[in-house]
Structure 1
Amino acid sequence: MSSRLALSVVLIAKDAADLLPECLESVSWADEIILLDSGSSDGTPQVAARHGAKVFHATEWHGYGKQRQLAQSYATHPMILMIDSDERVTPQLRSSIEAALEQPAPGAIYSLGRRNLFLGRFMRHSGWYPDRVTRLYPASFQYNDHQVHESLETQGAVVTPLKGDLLHLTCRDFSTFQWKQFAYAEAWAKQRYHQGKRCGVFAIFLHTIGAFFKTLVLRAGFLDGKQGWLLSVVNAQYTFNKYAALWALNHTSHASGKGGL
């Protein structure tokens, strides 16, 4: 009798009808696919159902972390593979996942190496590869509550890297990517503000310059050609937006408390 653990693939999605077919086909070998829809208007639930996914709905948004927790609560199998609609499991990664399921270690958690697409190029440097993310894990684990940049609570467990890439279509359309980055920056700032974090004007520029230097030089972004240079600027811009938004929240709050003076 095989000791293979059954696998639930879990996704959260909104208005991802164009991305889902390739994504779901890449994990069609899983024992079940769970998709939590967040109020799509483009037929995402119908596309997911046609590709064999069990579709659930949650129109109230509480952040990425809690949304992933809710999606995972619908899974019925002992192992979870958490992916996004703009990600695809390559054949080599599938083989690695299936091997891990065939010979499971108690409480084993696995990381996947992502290859991120940026303006027509799958990046090899710039901190975007292998960009390991912890996505294959026992159902006893779950994501934290973070609004953005959520991550799995590993509770000190050893994380084993798997071979094979998870393709991530990060930036297919530059304008859409920029709007998403701005939304992430705003959510990050609000979360830090409610945690009582503060930021000075000098720190804004220090973090911004540091982000550009880290991407281009320390993470060898220059080896990714034109896209590496552009990504360095984008990362700096995103960092500026995060800290400037945090400064603005604190400044506005302080001004309101002083009667606008």
Structure 2
Amino acid sequence: MEMIKLSGVIITFNEERNIEHCLKSLINVVDEIIVVDSFSTDNTKAICERFNVTFIEQNFLGYIEQKNFALAKASYDYVVSLDGDEALSETLQTSIINLKTNWTYDGYYANRFNNFCGQWIKHSDWYPNKKLRIFDRRKANWQGVNPHDKILLLNTKSKTGHLKGDILHKTYQTYSEFNQKTEYFSTIAAKAYFDRGKKAPIWKVFVNPTWAFFKSYVLRLGFLDGFNGFVICVQTANITFLKYSKLRELYRKDILN
């Protein structure tokens, strides 16, 4: 087949710590880079403007909506989609370049390797943490429940492949940042569940967090990542607890109103 062209698509907000690494990992892989930014107040825009990118400012629409907005701005149908705190490993860069003359499937998964407080996390629910991020946008879009967005192929008969290499994800670099994001994401998730009419019986407040911790710490070997593995698994339980607690709170407020 003839060589296809790829669009790199990124959404950002205050990513000055990570965006340069993200862009450098894409520039030799894709034929254009689209950055949709939610009016960052740090140096994200200035850093992006040092690279040959199309920089678009757009008020944040929600994770799923913002990513679909960004997807629509790409010039090419074959897309590599990243967050601003993600980058392609060298092996994954090579795998994607090889696709340009050998694109076979509708989408491709890659494992995401998460760095937490300076440590690469190899277990719990955090690895291999495979993500569908290389795909034909005519056959897929962003769906899910905010903030847990994911690419879904529109045809149930679509076929996917798996690429060698990792998406390198610089996640939380302090425990305080992790706590703040747990609060933030649990609030978004509770609101999304409320909007969908999902219920929160009291048993879910107790059972679901307990199961979340056991699954990630014991079944998925989170204990092998040491103290940081324990912190991650506790927060996995905590975000589940907060999500259902806040969902119950939303229903109480709704009744009072």
Q: TM-score, normalised by structure 2?
A: 0.94
How far apart, CA to CA, are the structure 2 residues paired with 1:126 and 1:78? Answer: 34
Q: Which of 129, 132, 135 is the matching residue for 1:131?
A: 129
Aligned residue pair count: 253
CA contact (8 A) 1:12 1:71 kept: yes
CA contact (8 A) 1:111 1:160 kept: yes
Secondary structure of 1:245's aligned partner: helix
Residue number in structure 2 paired with 1:115:
113
Deviation at 1:40, TM superposition (A): 0.9
Counterpart amino acid of residue 53 in structure 2: A
Q: Map 1:74-223; keep pairs closer than 5 Å.
A: 74-105=73-104, 108-140=106-138, 141-144=140-143, 146-155=145-154, 156=156, 157-223=158-224
Residue number in structure 2 paired with 1:5:
4
**Alignment CA distance shift 1:145-1:240 (3 Å):** closer
How far apart, CA to CA, are the structure 1 residues paired with 2:117 and 2:231? Answer: 9
Same amino acid, percent of matched pairs: 30
Structure having the higher strand fraction is 2
- Structure 2 gap segments, 5+ residues each: none
Residue number in structure 2 paired with 1:32:
32
Secondary structure of 2:207's aligned partner: helix
**Alignment CA distance shift 1:145-1:216 (3 Å):** closer
- Structure 1 gap segments, 5+ residues each: none
Secondary structure of 2:149's aligned partner: coil
Counterpart amino acid of residue 26 in structure 1: S
Residue number in structure 1 paired with 2:54:
54
How far apart, CA to CA, are the structure 2 residues paired with 1:213 and 1:160? Answer: 31
How far apart, CA to CA, are the structure 2 residues paired with 1:173 and 1:125? Answer: 19
